[in-house]
Amino acid sequence: MSAPAFLAEPQLERQPDAYGTISKAIEYLSVPGREEVDIAGLAHALSMSERQLVDLFRRWCGLTPKSFAQAVALNQARKLLRENMSVLDTTYEVGLSAPSRLHDLFVTYDAVPPGIYRARGAGLEFTWGYAPSPFGLAVIMMTQYGVAGISFADPGKEDYAFEDLASRWPNAEYRRDDAAVAPVAARIFDPNRWDPERPVRLVMIGSDFEVKVWETLLKIPTGGASTYGAIAKSLGRPSAARAVGRAVGRNPISFVVPCHRVIGSDGKLTGYHWGLVRKRAIMGWEAGLVSGA
């Protein structure tokens, strides 16, 4: 598998800066009527040369700016839905790969005992810290059971990213240790380290229904997409699309439990807790990963 060049470990520290420029490019590309990418105009808007712009995108996701724009366009989202209509009907064991899932991060997971969830984290000890990612600074929370939370911090809102996760389990204990989360972050965000022999261990802390929805999200392959209605149907509750939407919105383990792969039935990119710009960024990054594999 060939990963984007930027993922070489010495460059990981620069990811938040790279994402800042990428996010501005996505905002520019998101303006209605810009389906055809004006490379010169985009480069000018970002105070870059065309060569610098192309090089940035190739390092970040392995795609040209034009290919990236096409990967996150409405028509492409609709195409993904057509191609993945039956993806949730295909079962597989989490942590094992099928031929169509060779680009996936490998995970195993458990759910915490219901009593801990009802006690809002009482009895849990979280180690947490900030770490670089391709999508800006990430906050990662771990318990003795596994990774329990991943959020993203925009510049100046680093405290909010932590507090948003911690507010879900207000009775837990928290200890910051950036060094402890660094190797876990590297295994999560560097595809060269995605190894079925060393899956990332998750712990899901939520209601029974929420956990079922989050489990279902893990069935959507990298570069794929599904809808709230399709997830509800796969759970045997076809009228529960709104409830599925709420559960998707409360997913605490961003990126790894891929709530960003859930879109509207019309192909539109609906709300994402960490912003639609970041959702487009993750989907475009994954498209580059799949196309370059």
CA 213 to chain centre: 16
Smallest CA-to-CA distance from 128 within 185, 171, 206 is with: 185
Residue 163 vs residues 59, 81, 170, 265, 269: alpha-carbon distances, Å: 32, 34, 10, 32, 26
Name the active-site residue from 230, 259, 263, 269. 259
d(CA 148, CA 216): 17
Nearest 5°: phi and psi at 185?
Answer: -60, -40
Active site residue 259: yes
User: Does residue 231 contact residue 216 with C-beta atoms inside 8 Å?
Assistant: yes
* H helix runs in the chain, sequence order: 15-29, 39-45, 50-61, 65-71, 74-83, 114-118, 158-166, 178-189, 208-217, 228-234, 241-249, 276-291
Tell me whether strands 173-176 and 200-204 are parallel, antiparallel or unpaired. unpaired
252: left (phi > 0), else alpha (psi -120 to 50), else beta?
Answer: alpha
CA 135 to chain centre: 9
Structure tokens at 144: 């003795």
CA 208 to chain centre: 22
Annotated active-site positions, please? Answer: 259
